[in-house]
Structure formats: C-alpha cells, structure tokens
A and B are shown apart, each in its own frame.
Chain A
Amino acid sequence: MSVLTVDHIAVGYSNTVIIEELSAAIPEKKITTIIGPNGCGKSTLLKAVARILKTQKGAIFLDGRAIQQVSTKEIAKKLAILPQSAEAPPGLTIFELVSYGRFPHQRGFGTLKKEDLKHIHWAIEVTGLGELRDRPVEALSGGQRQRVWIAMALAQDTEILILDEPTTYLDLAHQLDILLLLKKLNEEEGKTIVMVLHDLNHASRFSHYMIAMKDGEIITEGEPKKVMKSENLKAVFDINAILMTCPFSQNPICLSYQLNKETECLLQTVE
C-alpha cells in the first residue's frame, strides 16, 4: 500500500529541468530513504512531494487525490516537512515554536485549545524536550534544535513526515539519536517517513525501503538488501564499495570504498 504516489513528474527550477520523468510509490507506514550523489535530484523530488516545488508535468497523489487539487492547508494535515536548514525567529521558546505546528488545525486568532495542547504536550515529551520547553530555541545545541523542529512537525499531527537530511551537521551520536527517534515514531505511531540521507550505512540500517537516484532518474529501488549492492553503488556513485553485513540491523553496509577511476588505475598498475 502506498499513501503517496509520484506519477510521471517533471520538476525543476525556473529554467533548468532537474527531473525529466520520474515515477515512484512511497510505502505506507514505512521508512523510505532517498540516496544519490549531489545534484542527482533527490532534494528536488522531496520538495516536489512536499509541494514546495510545482511539478511541470505529471502529478503527485496523496491518498488518491492529486496534491495540485487539494488546498495546501488540507495537505498540511496529512504531511509535515522538516526543512534542511530552518532558523527560528529570535526570542521564540521551544513551546512557542512547537505550538506553531498546530497552524493547519487552527482557525481565526489561534488561541490554543485543549486538543492543541494535547498534541503539543505529546510532541515535546516524545522528543525528550520536556525539561527545556521554556528555553529560547537559539540557546539550544544543534541536535536539540533538530528535535524541536521534529517536535513542531509532530504537533502538526500528520501521517507522513518528510525530512531533508535530518542528520546533517550533527555528530555521530546525535545523528543516531535523531534516527532512533524517527524509528520509534515509525514503529510506535505508525508514521510514514520519507527522507534524504547522505550516509548510506544509516540509510541501510534504518530504512525499510530505499530509492537510489542519479541524474534525475531512479536507478534502483527496494529494500536495503536489494539496493545496497556493489554494482548499484557503482552505477549510482561511481564507486567501488566493499560491503558487509551490519551486526545491528543485518542489512548491508559499506565498509570502505574507492572512486571507480582510482580502482582502474590500481588495476592497471598491477597488470
């Protein structure tokens, strides 16, 4: 089952087309990760799905309805986005920022109702920010700040969460921390999660489904065991990767790698 289907879309910025034609289906209640080299169109695809970029051709269906025909507020009740680099206005506390997540559910002046408080409360607690909720957002560390934005997306109370590189700029432990949080949200709350990650091993370890892209096209997609193969990584990143099985997830991970041209040089020398 998929809640989100991409049907033959073309998308890009004003004059450049980045994706010429692409179709994909995002499985429901699963974690899907898009991987690929810089400039391959993975963020573009994510932005198109999140209706930030308009499609030039084709359509994207959310619950069977084309998103172009649904009001943006209606979509916001089903799909939340976590931007790559978001900055909160100075002086805003965590509670206040998370409460902004209730926007699509509010009317008029925006007094917080019981229902709103319930979701804000849950979002702050589940992301482990309870102690910090009256602190200004700018006083937090990078990892905590990322949690606040996730909390805001959670307060939005949507089935689908879209995240563009949620672990960028975080150290090893905090990267894992965010991914474990997403895993928990998927398992316990049944959230459908779609994200872009640069770290292949994280992608393999935490995803149910992977989409590998290059030059605006999908090269291969499927569960990590299918996607994380050396021939696929060669085709997508132009690298020779040595793969092994992750002792934690039993999924393939990349132990080390070389650029393809490097390997060729090496082979020539041996000969």
Chain B
Amino acid sequence: MTEENYISAYQQKKHRKNIFLILSVFILIIIMFMISMSTGFIRLTPMELIRTLFGMGTDKQNIILFDFRLPRIVISILVGMALAVSGSILQGVSRNALADPGILGINSGAGVAVMLFISFFPTTTAAPVFFLPILAFIGAGTTAILIYVLAYKRGEGISPTRLLLTGVAVAAGISAVMIVLTLRLSPENYQFVAVWMAGSIWGSNWSFVLALLPWILILLPIAYSKARVLNTLNLGEIPATGLGLAIEKERLILLAVAVGLAGASVSVSGGIGFIGLIAPHLARQLVGAKHQYLLPTAALVGSLLLITADTIGRWILEPSEVPAGIVVAVIGAPYFLYLLAKSKA
C-alpha cells in the first residue's frame, strides 16, 4: 500500500456514512418544518400551506404563518443548534459526558435575572418583554463569569472538574435565591416565570430571530473551526499539552463560545435543559467522537429535537401549550435511562 492512499476504504466508507447521516437528519428537519407549520390551534392543510407560502393565502393564514409560526420555528431551529453545539463544546472541554450548558449556571443565572426584574417591576406591560432577553443574557453571562472566577486557581488555571463542581454549587445557591424571590411574586407573575423557566419558545417574533441570528452566525463558525482543538482537548490534559495545544487559551475561547451560544438561546427560549445534554450524545452515537462530524451533527440533531418538541407541545394539549422544555425533558429522561441500562449490560 502506498502512503498517498493510506486513508483506507474503511475510513472512506465511514466518511460517506457520516455525510449520509448528516443529510438524513437535515431532511428530517425539513419534514418536521413542514409539519410544524401546519400544526397549531388553526390547522393548515398542505395545500393551504403551499398557497400561503407562495403569497396566495388569506390575510388570516398569512398572519398565522408569517407572524406567529415561522418566527417560532426558526427560533426553535436556531436555539436547538446553539444549545447542542454549546453542550458538545462543554462535554469536549470537560471530558465529561454529563456536562451541559446548565452547569455553567447559564439557565439559573438567566432565570434569576428575569425573576429579579419581574419581582421589582411587577407590571407585565409591553416594556419588560423586550427587556427580558437582554436581561437574561446579562444574568447568564454574569453567572458564568462568577463560576469561572470561583473555579480559577492561581498557578493551575481552570480544571474542568473544579468548573463542574463550582457550577453545580452556584446553580444550587441561585435556586435558593429564586425560591425566596417567588414569595414576592403575584400569582400571574409567578406563572409567567414558571413557564419561562420550563423553557417555552415564547419570543416568537421576527425581532427575536434577528437578536439571536448574529450570535449564531458568529459563534457557530468559530466553534466549527475549533473542531481539531476539541479533538485534541478530548484526549486529556497531558496528551493535549504534548501535542502543542495552548490549553488555557483554547479552553477560555471555547468556554466563552459555549456561554455565548447558550446565553443567547436562553434569553429567547428560557431554560431548555435537556437539548445541550442529549443532542451531543445522540450525535456521538451516530457519527463518533471526531468533532469535524460531531459538531454539525449535534447542531442538526438539536434543531430537530427542539422543533419536534415545540410542535408536540403545541399539539398535545390543544388549545393550551406545553413548554418545549418540558416535552424535551419527557422524551429525554427515558432516553437517558435507556443509555444507562445499555451501558451496564
């Protein structure tokens, strides 16, 4: 065998299989997109859907599709992507398969910011709704920085284990603060916060799409360009150092990307927990541990999961809605138990 074609038939087959899998998930997203557009309190038949999409719908159909459903679907896709990539990064950096954006205090940080705001300005007028994403993002970022500073040890830098433990501790502390804060809330405000925390895609409006899009467009390519770095970090600290990786610097960049992605999504979708944990897992089962494949697959799986969960949430208890975060958790928990049972056998 010559050196030039040392990439074996097996490697080429694996590459083709992975590309096929990625395309399959992509097609599933498109199918789900269609289903999601026609699902809701007012159903649209496939014909009505196509007519409306091509600008021949009634005013009512136009409003339902373009002002309510489409922005919401686009947001689910973007948020699913962001959370999944954020989770993949965190799992890669910490070498811990149970890491997810929640451990960086992003969900709880955003939650407490929202709660503080509502408990001090209890009037649910139009103003806070546009304030909330910014506030949630600030809360998420502040908590992430706090955890980073607490986990930092001079001379040794930041160890993934310390980061995870500090994250769990800070999140527990914040939960305690939130319980105290709930006592101040009126029942209506409490309900709003509860639904927000459970992760409903409430920011279903084109301006939220515009607020989220720049983050995704900037941070996803950065994450993807770090695929090779993530592969190396995944080997552990000593091998990564030996291979010439500037560990401290790269870890900081990757953590910042993960926080940015998760913070941006939490700010429009609330605390959707399971996606960041489960999408990387599923993706790893599909395409393996190489981040060149893992990151795009996880992103697509995350989108698919969230768009499906949101659609089910809109449909299952019509006319009321179940937050997508809860649907994800209901699907996610049994899957995790299954994984656990399988790993024991």
Q: B8 → chain A, closest Cβ, in Å?
A: 6
Known A-B contacts A100-B235, A109-B292; the reply to A14 vs B155 at CB < 8 A is yes
Taking CB as reference atom, which chain A residue is nearest B237? A52
Q: Are A83 and B238 in contact (CB-based, < 8 A)?
A: yes
Known A-B contacts A91-B288, A109-B228; the reply to A76 vs B239 at CB < 8 A is no
A145 at the interface (CB under 8 A from B): no
Q: A79 → chain B, closest Cβ, in Å?
A: 8
Q: B26 → chain A, closest Cβ, in Å?
A: 20
Q: Are A112 and B243 in contact (CB-based, < 8 A)?
A: no
Bound complex: CA A74 to CA B245 (Å)? 10
Q: A27 → chain B, closest Cβ, in Å?
A: 21
Known A-B contacts A110-B292, A134-B8; the reply to A89 vs B246 at CB < 8 A is no
Given A82, A100, A114, which contacts B4 in the complex, CB threshold below 8 Å?
A114
Taking CB as reference atom, which chain B residue is nearest A88? B235
Collect the chain B residues with CB atoms within 8 Å of residue A79's CB: 242
Q: Are A103 and B234 in contact (CB-based, < 8 A)?
A: no
Known A-B contacts A109-B225, A112-B7; the reply to A83 vs B244 at CB < 8 A is no
Taking CB as reference atom, which chain A residue is nearest B243? A103
Q: Are B227 and A133 in contact (CB-based, < 8 A)?
A: no
Q: Which of B11, B232, B235, B244 has the most CB of A within 10 A?
A: B244
Residues 238-254 (chain B) with a chain A CB within 8 angstroms = 238-239, 241-246
Q: Are B244 and A89 in contact (CB-based, < 8 A)?
A: no
A92 at the interface (CB under 8 A from B): yes
Q: Are B239 and A81 in contact (CB-based, < 8 A)?
A: yes
Question: DSSP class of B's interface residues: helix, strand, loop or mixed?
Answer: loop
Q: Are A80 and B227 in contact (CB-based, < 8 A)?
A: no
B173 at the interface (CB under 8 A from A): no
Given B1, B11, B234, B246, which contacts A72 in the complex, CB threshold below 8 Å?
B246
Residues 1-43 (chain B) with a chain A CB within 8 angstroms = 1, 3-4, 6-8, 10-11
Known A-B contacts A86-B235, A92-B289; the reply to A73 vs B244 at CB < 8 A is yes
A120 at the interface (CB under 8 A from B): yes
Collect the chain A residues with CB atoms within 8 Å of residue B232's CB: 100, 103
Given A14, A83, A110, which contacts B228 in the complex, CB threshold below 8 Å?
A110
A95 at the interface (CB under 8 A from B): yes
Given A95, A101, A103, A109, which contacts B245 in the complex, CB threshold below 8 Å?
A103
A75 at the interface (CB under 8 A from B): yes
Collect the chain A residues with CB atoms within 8 Å of residue B4's CB: 114, 117
Q: Are A14 and B245 in contact (CB-based, < 8 A)?
A: no
Residues 269-294 (chain B) with a chain A CB within 8 angstroms = 284, 288-290, 292
Residues 34-64 (chain B) with a chain A CB within 8 angstroms = none
Bound complex: CA A101 to CA B245 (Å)? 11
A184 at the interface (CB under 8 A from B): no
B231 at the interface (CB under 8 A from A): yes
Collect the chain A residues with CB atoms within 8 Å of residue B11's CB: 93, 95, 134
Top 4 closest pairs, chain A to chain B, by CB: A76-B244, A81-B242, A104-B244, A73-B244
> Which positions in B face A, CB cutoff 8 Å?
1, 3-4, 6-8, 10-11, 95, 153, 155-156, 225, 227-228, 231-232, 234-239, 241-246, 284, 288-290, 292
> Which positions in A face B, CB cutoff 8 Å?
14, 50-52, 54, 71-77, 79-83, 86-93, 95-96, 100-101, 103-104, 106, 108-110, 112, 114, 117-118, 120-122, 133-134, 149, 152-153, 156, 162
In the complex, 16 of the A-B residue pairs with CB atoms within 8 angstroms, ordered by the A residue number, are A71-B244, A72-B241, A77-B244, A86-B239, A89-B234, A96-B290, A100-B232, A103-B232, A104-B244, A108-B225, A109-B225, A109-B228, A110-B227, A121-B6, A134-B10, A152-B239
